Chain A
Amino acid sequence: MANTPISVTVDQVTYEDDVEPRTLLVQYLREQLGKTGTLIGCDTTNCGACTVHLDGQSVKSCTMFAVQADGHDVTTIEGLAQDGDLHPMQQAFHEKHALQCGFCTPGMIMQSIALLQENPNPTEQEVREGLEGNLCRCTGYQNIVAAVQAAAGAGSAAGTQSEEGAA
């Protein structure tokens, strides 16, 4: 079937591309743009590993077609660090050992940033609820929650395009 032209901004770079309509956004990011930082854990909209931001809101990129992102602004885990400085949320995950195998981590970090944008000072319960759509099979979540709270304390509620230095 005919390819469809799209124009989409990913991590602050605008791309004009032709895609097959059935191409998932996550496939487009990984296979066409080479942005393999966004992972596919389940491919059935469950695990949250593929979470990216669409116009600043978190979405699961395995459950959306690339054509549906046409005209939108996408931020992936690869767009967070600025000039080599980790985003405060990335730094917090690092410092709190909030990962083991790391497979859930890109999605966890993207969802955690979205969570703090809505609620800059979440309680532990609110962090757990805000991350309900992200599954981790390794950590037991304890250190992930700690990292998000640490990042909140460090004032990283600023947007995904945050220019702030590390926490």
Chain B
Amino acid sequence: MKPFAYDRATDADGAVATVTADPDAMFVAGGTNLVDHLKLGLVTPEHLVDVSRLPLDQVTEREGGGLRIGATVRNADLAAHPLVRQLYPVLSHALLAGASGQLRNVATTGGNLLQRTRCAYFQDVTAACNKRDPGSGCAALSGWTRYHAILGTSSDCLAAHPSDMAVAMVALDAEVVVLGPDGERRVALEHFHRLPGDRPDLETVLEHGELITAVEIPPLAMARRSAYRKVRDRASYAFALVSVAAALDVQDGVVRDVRLALGGVGTRPWRARVAEEALVGGPATEAAFAEAARAELAAASPTDDNAFKIPMTRSTVVAVLSGLAGEETR
């Protein structure tokens, strides 16, 4: 690993100022993603600013409802938090479906959102990758793409976004609170990650030196009954082939409101707006759920290796929504 200088930040403004002033500086939080990338030589910062001990480790109720989750709240603590379990079970389930106990004990909310793709070609410095090395090409286009995205891809990048937590959060209309040299701004999580287009190296709307300080989730009554289901190649400790986060409000057999997001299939945490629109006001039946999934997936561009994700996504959406609809009528 290349040597680097290390500083432990004691306040958020100072951390932002240090990284903003130094193009070769990076933040590190839990390190569960970045440390591997340093070992693999994917990134070579000269200076690491450790934000893991900033006083951003609280989950608090917002005035008027909803939660504010500090950027350094550990994934394990967030999953176990009584308010999260009560108000947004989908978030707790998504967190527990990710990584392992040891990793969740140190992984942070901010780091989880910014974890990078598990595309094998991205992680291999000898392979062509437009994300890691802009303009070098994309080895996945002619490679093995079982784990790659089918939604939001471009002719320059097929890499899937790996986070489970972010899929639940994007379903819940989360906002990312960002601190920069000129103060604070908020970005809807849905627009926080960029589609790859012809610049797969630009992964989010963050500027160099901007720090995530919190994620806020607005109140959503129906999220008390929400669910996350993750389909993978083995029963635990694997990234999603397909995952579905959903909350559903059904009355008299009619869908009054719904939140739906997909993981494992998108180049970013995928809010399924097309499916949501198709569902609202319609019958809460398996046929309608399947039809809505079909509408969302009409834009998919799969490869031979991952075309199975289309029927798999459809069945998972149907299973999750049917489960929630069944609970409603019980």
Query: What is A's interface to B at a CB cutoff of 8 Å?
Result: 1-2, 4, 20-22, 24, 43-45, 48, 51, 54, 57-60, 62-65, 67-68, 70, 111, 114-115, 128-130, 132-134
Extra contacts besides A1-B5, A60-B102, A64-B31 (19): CB < 8 Å: A1-B3, A22-B4, A44-B39, A45-B32, A45-B35, A54-B105, A54-B106, A59-B106, A60-B32, A63-B32, A64-B35, A65-B35, A67-B8, A111-B102, A115-B101, A130-B101, A132-B100, A132-B237, A134-B100
Query: A59 CA to B101 CA in the complex, in Å?
Result: 8
Contact of A133 among B36, B50, B100 (CB under 8 A): B100
Q: Known: A65-B31, A111-B101. Contact between A129 and B236, CB under 8 A?
A: yes
Chain A residues near B32 (CB, 8 Å)?
A: 45, 60, 63
What residue in chain B is nearest A67 (Cβ atoms)? B6
Contact of B31 among A44, A68, A114 (CB under 8 A): A68
Contact A48 B6 (CB under 8 A): no
Chain B residues near A115 (CB, 8 Å)?
A: 101
CB < 8 Å A-B pair total: 80
Contact A63 B31 (CB under 8 A): yes
Chain A residues near B92 (CB, 8 Å)?
A: none
Contact A132 B101 (CB under 8 A): yes
In chain B, residues 77-96, which have Cβ atoms closer than 8 Å to a Cβ of chain A? Answer: none
Q: How far is the CB of B66 from chain A (nearest CB, A)?
A: 28
Contact B100 A68 (CB under 8 A): no
Q: Known: A58-B105, A63-B31. Contact between A48 and B100, CB under 8 A?
A: yes
Contact A59 B35 (CB under 8 A): no
Chain A residues near B100 (CB, 8 Å)?
A: 48, 132-134
Contact of B50 among A58, A60, A68, A132 (CB under 8 A): A68
In chain B, residues 1-46, which have Cβ atoms closer than 8 Å to a Cβ of chain A? Answer: 1-6, 8, 31-32, 35-36, 38-40
